Structure 1
Amino acid sequence: MMDMEDSELPKAAIFDLDGTLLDSVDLHALAWQEAMVEFGHDVTFEQVRSQIGKGGDKLIPVFLSDEQQREHGKHLEEWRGNRFKSTYLPLIRPFSAVSQLLQRVREAGLRIAVASSAKEDELKKYLDIAAISDLVDVATSSEDVDESKPAPDIFEVVLKKLGIKGSEAVAIGDTPYDAIAARKAGVSAIGVLCGGFTENSLREAGCVEVYPGPGTLYARFGDTALTK
């Protein structure tokens, strides 16, 4: 058996927000679905729900042709943003034990980063809702990158800000897109089921471990990839 002293502990934990720390995926899906219908696209809640975790740059092309994107893609995304902020943002709550988990990560000597596809103004609100603003060392928003997940840009920006290599970090996310993006950036990924994706889909995307949610990660912290 390998001596634990031989294996180097990770230096940072990189958390996704929506569906990982915040119970927000259904609310995002509602806003997107309403926006699609508003602009004449017959898209169901379930169809949109399966795409949440991607940024708008990756989600819109799933449902709109190139011509439709040129015609009203920007307006659709703006409508969605306004709808989300006015109707759904006030309903978002963190999952249980989120601040305790991040506190525990910090006590273990890891730095904490947030890799989110959210817009910058939404990101600040999210950190406040989760009560973790003072625990996060580095955060990225969609404005920091050219492409959202599953492209690795967000993780590459976080790693650069932290000044570490991919192999020195562990990502925690709820979607296959988090795991795929992390893997492309050389980062190991832990999956959580609280965003609604299956354990199978998360493992197929490359997650090394899968847990029900932040509460279980906190309760079983010593057994996780964050401590090995």
Structure 2
Amino acid sequence: MPKAAIFDLDGTLLDSVDLHALAWQEAMLKFGHDVSFEQVRGQIGKGGDKLIPVFLSDDEQLDHGKDLEEWRGNRFKTEYLPLVRPFSAVPDLLRRVRDAGLQIAVASSAKKDEVEMYLDIAGIADLVHLKTSSDDVEESKPAPDIFEFVLKKLKLEGADAVAIGDSPYDAEAAGKAGITTIGVLCGGFAESSLRQAGCVEVYPGPAALLALFEHSLLRK
């Protein structure tokens, strides 16, 4: 049996992917980049260090990349963060994981202050043993840094943990750290893309994973 469950937040436990995509699209347009909502949405799950280079050249990044990311962060917090809601059964799922004897960590590409607010919104702050953010590592997903950081903090090997995420970037990052991933569809990515990225099991969302908990990787 695994010793730890490592959860992503955006799109996995919280219904926030579209809201992040809107904030990023607005930021891109404000700084002169004609990027569609669909183009941005397909990149959600990465941190800004990985998302911005998809749309900005090296020179553009040097010129206004930091300003764009800062504007995006402020826009999200003021306009969209109040609209973020958890998916159903999120606290129940984490309590079930905890009761099964697993340590619970969150590994998010969000900034530290956003992670703190997310845990409160989801009602799970008291259920998480270790919380991490993009501020803790050099590179965000799909680089493995954040999962390697969690393993080091928990003093575990990759085979001792299971990751739960909604994006291919979660599975890619976890796989590079030797961690098996459970995928959830509630973030909007197709099951085929999740499995191609390495997800071994795929569920509609947290409630379905809770309902089938005894048959999942979290109990094997």
**Could you say which TM-score interval applies, normalised by the shorter chain?**
over 0.9
Counterpart in the other structure of 1:68: 60
For residues 116-135 of structure 1, what are the structure 2 equivalents within 5 Å? 116-135=108-127
User: Is residue 15 of structure 1 aligned with residue 7 of structure 2?
Assistant: yes
Please tell me the residue identity of whatever aligns with 1:140.
Answer: T
Moved over 4 A (4+): none
Q: Structure 1 stretches of 5 or more lacking a match?
A: 1-8
Counterpart in the other structure of 1:77: 69
Secondary structure of the residue aligned to 1:102 is: helix
User: Is residue 32 of structure 1 aligned with residue 24 of structure 2?
Assistant: yes
Computing the radius of gyration from Cα coordinates, the structure with the larger value is: 1
Counterpart in the other structure of 1:44: 36
Secondary structure of the residue aligned to 1:117 is: coil
CA distance in 1, matches of 2:59, 2:201: 41
CA distance in 2, matches of 1:33, 1:123: 21
Counterpart in the other structure of 2:138: 146
CA distance in 1, matches of 2:219, 2:128: 18
Deviation at 1:52, TM superposition (A): 0.2
CA distance in 2, matches of 1:120, 1:55: 12
Please tell me the residue identity of whatever aligns with 2:20.
Answer: H
Q: Let me know the Cα RMSD of the aligned residues.
A: 0.3
Deviations along 1:175-196, whole A, 9 cap, x unmatched?
0000000000000000000000
CA distance in 2, matches of 1:134, 1:163: 21
Secondary structure of the residue aligned to 2:162 is: strand
Aligned residues: 220
Deviation at 1:20, TM superposition (A): 0.1
Secondary structure of the residue aligned to 2:9 is: coil
Q: Percent identity?
A: 76
Q: Structure 2 stretches of 5 or more lacking a match?
A: none
Decide which of 96, 101, 108 is 1:109's aligned counterpart. 101
Decide which of 160, 181, 200 is 1:189's aligned counterpart. 181
For residues 164-175 of structure 1, what are the structure 2 equivalents within 5 Å? 164-175=156-167
